[in-house]
């Protein structure tokens, strides 16, 4: 199905099932431990062996020798696979570094071997017997040190210039020119990267933890130099991804290579300390923001430049995305700079681009509002725009930022805020309010599905869509139930298998809208097939309460499949509506913090998010997404930071004992409000993504609240005690 015109009224608009706060249908499986994750396919591989990965002990250089003889002769060892004996390997299109290194080393903890043994303990013990000698080479590990030499944009991301920024900024009545930093951050999903591989002749089956089934299948085929049709990837349940499982990782490759060498199914799970250094992370940024405005508060000039680092061939952190679109201003300049670093690969982490970009832009906007003597909410509203500032003829499909901000301010009690910092006390605590706008672009991705109807009236949906803990099973079931007129209990959803039609996968906030649109397309075809089977007019027939109705005739849906299961398959593809209209999601984030006047300890007391993201397909699962994102924003503001050893080139705090993330005790009162709306430009579902929107802007709202509480403006994340202590008000 081609979606190239705005959606009209359709069966989803009934909202008998879609739009309702249903419990997650996979919830009972997960809470009882019966959902099968990548490392747990015991019945499929009863004779499984275990692989343990060896990581490089240097960040840049070369292996001069590797003696694996002791490991091969260790008890229980079945195989030791290295780059020397793995056979010719390629590299996936989406990998910056090779997944099995040697002899060249590209980053610390790059996999250089996998030891396969009868038990995990034997594999781990034997891996310690491999004797590796290196020649270390100098590398660049410090973004701040590299920044002065990086002055030109990457070839694929040129600067974007509108009007005369320099002229407008120089003549502006009120100006801001400030530099901010965000740190390297790590994905810390509950489920580590894990895979199990089994070969039958030249056919490979991989059970893994993957957000994007089709991407993995394609890149694994390129890496192993085998046809894609010889690979089956299965990933029905995923214990979190946050972007780190978008792309093929070393556990999958090494499980496949280990299984081929041992001639046995092999499981490989990356140890927790490998997650930051062996997989991917959010790269650090250095960002400069310049804003010029009239005394009235109207922005006349805005510029945002961001520096990040990566391995050769790695992507840029697109931290200026939101600045191109969020506020009006006739004169604009945004630009990205990419330094070459020998740190582990940087790539997508939840809401890449806007997450670190909003951390900075929304502090700068707050600083500018203070210089103008304006309320931060009103300053943002005054500079709202209903069109793309660079292309005024291109309107937003739906833009409810002002409604989000006004609703949030009223619900939060923003009028009680004292605009003068460090004035409100509650015992030993300094109390402050902060807010920020939220913004995340709406991305559209083709997505397919197969829908089947059996003689019992059960509708089965098959798609390689994944569920990373976000509720894909439930919203897909709701879509099929709404389209086919059956209760949720009559829908079976099967996900995460490359034998199913290719879907959008989970990532970039595109998963919910795109995958359900694909199911919608398949259900349209199934409705047509059912109508034709029953001799009804497909254009007028109604599907409701398990019945198919046309004029004065009503037939049970199951009757259509009495002669055998009916199947339909389709893919939702998109025209150029995203070029005609700017499609984005918006939020208002409001936070109350308390800061200990003596120690600088920060406690977040209240958080509110008001979100506008089209039709909300399931308010219950969507709320869970947003409060999870808000919690991640709290972590980004106050604690999450990968500490870089700039001498040796690795992340020091590379496990959950040292890398701090928010826990339940840190989570304050959280409230989420969804603005009721639909966006017919987006898809037939009239929905947009919401999960990453809940993160974008949260950290800045916390930073702004800390400033309001203490008078200390911190421009370098995370906002830790040492950055506050010297500026706290004098104790009386």
State the pLDDT confidence band at 538, using cuts at 50, 70 and 90.
very high
Q: What is the model's pLDDT at position 46?
A: 87
Quick check: pTM over 0.75?
yes
Mind telling me the catalytic residues?
Answer: 692
Convert 471-501 to b/e letters by CB count within 10 Å (16 or more is b). Answer: bbbbbbbbbbbbbbbbebebbbbbbbbbebb
Q: Specify the higher pLDDT residue, 162 or 657.
A: 162
Instruction: Please compute the mean of the pLDDT values over residues 638-646 and round it to a whole number.
Output: 98
Q: What is the model's pLDDT at position 730?
A: 86
Q: What is the model's pLDDT at position 85?
A: 98
Say if residue 551's pLDDT is above 90. no
Per-residue pLDDT reduced to its tens digit, 97-122: 999 999 999 999 999 999 999 999 99
Per-residue pLDDT reduced to its tens digit, 367-397: 999 999 999 999 999 999 999 999 999 999 9
What is the domain class of 395-440+583-727 according to CATH?
alpha beta
Instruction: Please compute the mean of the pLDDT values over residues 645-654 and round it to a whole number.
Output: 97
- Phi, psi angle pair for 723, to nearest 5°: -85, -10
Instruction: Please compute the mean of the pLDDT values over residues 333-350 and round it to a whole number.
Output: 98
Q: Are the CB atoms for 509 and 443 separated by under 8 Å? A: yes
Per-residue pLDDT reduced to its tens digit, 524-534: 999 999 999 99
Cβ neighbours of 62 (radius 10 Å): 15
**How many CA atoms within 13 Å lie on the side-chain side of 522?**
34
Phi-psi region of 263 (alpha: psi -120 to 50; beta: other; left: phi over 0): left
Tokens for 143? 């973004």
Q: Are the CB atoms for 359 and 699 separated by under 8 Å? A: yes
Instruction: Please compute the mean of the pLDDT values over residues 416-433 and round it to a whole number.
Output: 98
What is the C-alpha R_g of the chain?
A: 27
Residue matched to tokens 């259509």: 560
State the pLDDT confidence band at 731, using cuts at 50, 70 and 90.
confident
SS3 266: strand
Q: Are the CB atoms for 67 and 131 separated by under 8 Å? A: yes
- Cα distances (Å, whole numbers) of residue 522 to 83, 121, 390, 462, 553: 44, 47, 37, 10, 25
Q: Are the CB atoms for 49 and 78 separated by under 8 Å? A: yes
Residue matched to tokens 């049970």: 556
SS3 304: strand
Per-residue pLDDT reduced to its tens digit, 6-60: 999 999 999 999 999 999 999 999 999 999 999 999 999 889 999 999 999 999 9
Say if residue 613's pLDDT is above 90. yes
Say if residue 584's pLDDT is above 70. yes
Distance (Å, whole) CA 92 – CA 85? 20
**CA-wise closest residue to 595 among 435, 436, 367, 421:** 421
**Could you tell me the CATH superfamily of domain 38-138+196-262?**
Aldehyde oxidase/xanthine dehydrogenase, a/b hammerhead (3.90.1170.50)
Helix (H) or strand (E) holding 220: helix 213-224
**CA-wise closest residue to 279 among 339, 218, 349:** 349
Per-residue pLDDT reduced to its tens digit, 449-482: 999 999 999 999 999 999 999 999 999 999 999 9
Q: What is the model's pLDDT at position 732?
A: 67
Q: Are the CB atoms for 399 and 386 separated by under 8 Å? A: yes
Q: What is the model's pLDDT at position 552?
A: 84
Per-residue pLDDT reduced to its tens digit, 476-525: 999 999 999 999 999 999 999 999 999 999 999 999 999 999 999 999 99
Q: What is the model's pLDDT at position 609?
A: 98
**CA-wise closest residue to 569 among 718, 424, 412, 452:** 452
**CA-wise closest residue to 398 among 583, 642, 640:** 583
Q: Are the CB atoms for 548 and 554 separated by under 8 Å? A: yes
Q: Give CATH 3.30.365.10 domain extents, the chain.
A: 2-35+444-578, 395-440+583-727
- Cα distances (Å, whole numbers) of residue 147 to 143, 155, 196, 341: 6, 17, 41, 11
Written in H, E and C, the secondary structure of 421-482 is: CCCCEECCEEEEEEEEEEEEECCCCCEEEEEEECCCCCEEEECCCCCCCCCHHHHHHHHHHH
Q: How many degrees, rounded to 5, is the angle at CA 191 between CA 187 and CA 194?
A: 100
Strand partners, 282: 185
Q: Which fold has domain 2-35+444-578?
A: Aldehyde Oxidoreductase; domain 4 (3.30.365)
Say if residue 302's pLDDT is above 90. yes
Bridge-based pairing state of the strands 266-269 and 111-117: unpaired
Distance (Å, whole) CA 343 – CA 140? 8
Instruction: Please compute the mean of the pLDDT values over residues 193-214 and round it to a whole number.
Output: 98
Largest Cα–Cα distance of the chain, in whole Å? Answer: 85
């Amino acid at each position: 199905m081609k979606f190239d015109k705005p959606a009209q009224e359709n069966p989803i608009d009934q909202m008998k099932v879609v739009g309702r706060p249903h419990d997650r249908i996979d919830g009972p499986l997960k809470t009882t431990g019966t959902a099968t994750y990548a490392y747990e396919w015991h019945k499929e591989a009863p004779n499984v062996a275990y692989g343990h990965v060896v990581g490089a002990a240097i960040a840049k250089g070369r292996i001069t020798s590797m003696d694996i003889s002791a490991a091969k002769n260790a008890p229980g060892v079945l195989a030791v696979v290295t780059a020397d004996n793995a056979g010719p390997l390629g590299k996936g299109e989406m990998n910056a570094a090779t997944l099995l290194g040697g002899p060249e080393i590209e980053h610390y903890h790059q996999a250089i071997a996998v030891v396969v043994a009868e038990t995990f303990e034997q594999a781990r013990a034997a891996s310690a017997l491999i004797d590796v000698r290196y020649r270390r080479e100098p590398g660049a590990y410090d973004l701040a040190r590299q920044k002065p030499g990086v002055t030109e944009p990457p070839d694929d991301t040129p600067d974007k210039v509108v009007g005369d920024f320099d002229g407008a900024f120089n003549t502006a009545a009120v100006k801001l020119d400030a530099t901010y930093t965000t740190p390297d951050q790590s994905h810390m999903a509950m489920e580590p990267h894990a895979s199990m591989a089994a070969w039958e002749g030249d056919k490979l089956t991989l059970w893994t933890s993957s957000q994007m089934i089709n991407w993995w299948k394609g890149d694994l085929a390129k890496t192993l130099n085998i046809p894609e049709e010889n690979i089956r990837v299965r990933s029905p349940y995923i214990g979190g991804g946050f972007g780190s499982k978008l792309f093929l990782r070393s556990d999958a490759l090494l499980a496949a290579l280990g299984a081929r060498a041992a001639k046995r199914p092999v499981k490989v799970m990356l140890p927790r300390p490998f997650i930051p250094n062996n997989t991917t992370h959010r790269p650090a940024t250095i960002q400069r923001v310049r804003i010029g405005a009239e005394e009235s508060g109207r922005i006349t000039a805005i510029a945002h430049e961001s520096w990040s680092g990566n391995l050769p061939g790695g992507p840029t952190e697109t931290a200026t995305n939101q600045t191109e679109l969020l506020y009006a201003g006739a004169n604009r300049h945004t630009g990205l700079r990419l330094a070459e670093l020998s740190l582990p690969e940087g790539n997508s982490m939840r809401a890449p681009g806007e997450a670190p970009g909003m951390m900075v832009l929304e502090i700068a906007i707050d600083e500018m509002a203070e210089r103008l003597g304006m309320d931060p909410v009103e300053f943002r509203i005054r500079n709202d725009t209903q069109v793309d500032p660079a292309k005024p003829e291109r309107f937003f499909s739906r833009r409810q930022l002002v409604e989000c901000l006004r609703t949030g301010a009223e619900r939060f009690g923003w009028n009680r805020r004292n605009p003068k910092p460090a004035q409100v006390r509650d015992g030993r605590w300094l109390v402050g309010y902060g807010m920020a706008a939220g913004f995340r672009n709406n991305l559209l991705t083709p997505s397919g599905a197969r829908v089947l109807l059996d003689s019992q009236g059960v509708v089965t949906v098959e798609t390689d869509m994944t569920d990373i803990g976000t509720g894909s099973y439930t919203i897909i079931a709701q879509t099929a139930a709404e389209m086919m007129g059956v209760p949720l209990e009559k829908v079976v959803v099967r996900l995460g298998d490359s034998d199913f039609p290719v879907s959008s996968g989970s990532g970039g906030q595109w998963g919910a809208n795109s995958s359900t649109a694909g199911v919608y397309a398949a259900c349209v075809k199934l409705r047509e097939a059912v109508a034709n089977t029953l001799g009804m007019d497909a254009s007028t027939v109604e599907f409701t309460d398990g019945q198919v109705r046309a004029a004065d005739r009503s037939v049970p849906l199951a009757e259509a499949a009495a002669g055998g299961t009916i199947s339909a398959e389709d893919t939702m593809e998109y025209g150029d509506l995203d070029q005609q209209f700017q499609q984005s999601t918006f939020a208002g984030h409001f936070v109350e913090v308390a800061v200990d006047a003596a120690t600088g300890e920060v406690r977040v007391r209240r958080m509110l998010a008001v979100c506008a993201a089209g039709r909300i397909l399931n308010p219950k699962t969507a709320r869970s997404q947003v409060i999870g994102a808000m919690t991640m924003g709290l972590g980004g503001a106050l604690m999450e930071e990968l500490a870089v050893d700039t001498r040796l080139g690795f992340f020091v705090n590379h496990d959950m004992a040292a890398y701090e993330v928010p826990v339940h005790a840190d989570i304050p009162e959280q409230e989420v409000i969804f603005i009721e709306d639909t966006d017919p430009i987006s898809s037939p579902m009239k929905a947009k993504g919401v999960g990453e929107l809940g993160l974008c802007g949260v950290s800045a709202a916390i930073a702004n609240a800390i400033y309001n509480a203490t008078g200390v403006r911190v421009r370098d994340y995370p906002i830790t005690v040492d950055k506050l202590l010297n500026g706290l008000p004098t104790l009386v």
